[in-house]
Amino acid sequence: MIAEEPSPGRFERFVLSIPDGTLMRALFLGVVGLAGWVVSLDLVEAQQAGADEARMTRTTPLPLRLPSPGDQIRPYLPRSIPVGPDRGEPRLPGYDGPVDGEAMGQPMRFLREDGGDSVVAIGRIDPGTASLLEAFLQAEGEGARTLVLHSPGGSVSDAIAMARTVREAGLDTRVPADGYCASACPLLLAGGVSRSAGENAWVGVHQVYAVEIPGLARDVDRSISDIQSTIADCQDLLVEMGVDPRLWIDAMRTPPQELYVLTPEELAEFALVTPPQAPAA
């Protein structure tokens, strides 16, 4: 007995009605489209990586407009400074060298103003910089009253230790007009007994991040734990120094490749700068 074949269903009739080769062409075009989409994602990622690498290694000043309330996110420059027609160069007492890439890309140096009471701290905060500051103050800090800052930041743990050294020494801190104090540098600024920032000073914060060390495997869980602990250390320092820890909320919201530049009003609101003190009678 020969069984009767059921009549094709609607979907089957639709498939049978498609001309030979159409499905293969559609499949081929789909594969090509998917490949193009993947390639485009790779290109975008490569462009972003290239832009980030250019920013990280840039040593020439970058023209940037001044921040204003609500428009405060700017690129973070770890080896240079922002410039513009409305910004000049910072005046650093006792220092007459370059203030841009050549200075920002170098480890932090300390210089004493001849016959004055200011110490200049210029350059990158590296692991071990805290010890250098302590040694400098012991050797040349007698009579110093103010630490003048111009730095792209760097090691958070060293910035915290330096802030405590500055407070123990009874020094004020100051970012000069048109100066740059970014990343971990505001933690050092917080150490001053009295704290100030000049006109158009660029004081900014961003997220704490782990630096990858070539040749060492990265433990993601350990990195996250270390970062959380460091954030807590930052907030502890701010409270200890009389600075509003709400400041660090803006830091935690800002990616490492960017900088949240504080307005003069925020600097005062968070007490990162303090009211001018009346001269002693």
Contact between 265 and 69 under an 8 Å Cβ cutoff? The reply is yes
| Percentage of the residues of the chain whose pLDDT score is greater than 70 | 73
Render 119-184 in DSSP notation, one character per residue: EEEESBB-TTHHHHHHHHHHHH-TT--EEEEEB--B-HHHHHHHHHHHHHTT-EEEEPTT-EEETT
Supply the pLDDT for residue 49: 43
Q: pLDDT class for 203, splitting at 50, 70, 90?
A: very high
Dist. CA 256–CA 183, nearest whole Å: 9
Q: How many residues does the chain have?
A: 281
> In this model, does residue 52 exceed pLDDT 60?
no
pTM comes to 0.78
Q: pLDDT class for 12, splitting at 50, 70, 90?
A: low
Supply the pLDDT for residue 226: 85
Supply the pLDDT for residue 277: 65
Query: What value does the mean pLDDT take over residues 210-230?
Result: 62
Q: pLDDT class for 4, splitting at 50, 70, 90?
A: low
Query: What value does the mean pLDDT take over residues 142-162?
Result: 97
What tokens were used for 278?
Answer: 């009346």
* Consecutive H or E run containing 197: strand 195-197
Cβ neighbours of residue 62 under 8 Å, at least 6 residues apart?
A: 75, 77, 80, 81, 82, 83
Q: How confident is the prediction for the chain on average, in pLDDT?
A: 84
Which segments within 7-80 are labelled E, that is strand? Answer: 62-63, 73-75
Which residue shows structure tokens 């090691």? 155
- Around Cβ 62, how many Cβ atoms within 10 Å? 16
pLDDT digits (tens, 9 = 90+) for 168-190: 999 999 999 999 999 999 999 99
Of these ranges, 32-36, 42-46, 64-68, 194-198, the one predicted with the greatest mean pLDDT is 194-198
252 or 48: which leads in pLDDT:
252
**Phi–psi pair at 239, nearest 5 degrees:** -65, -45
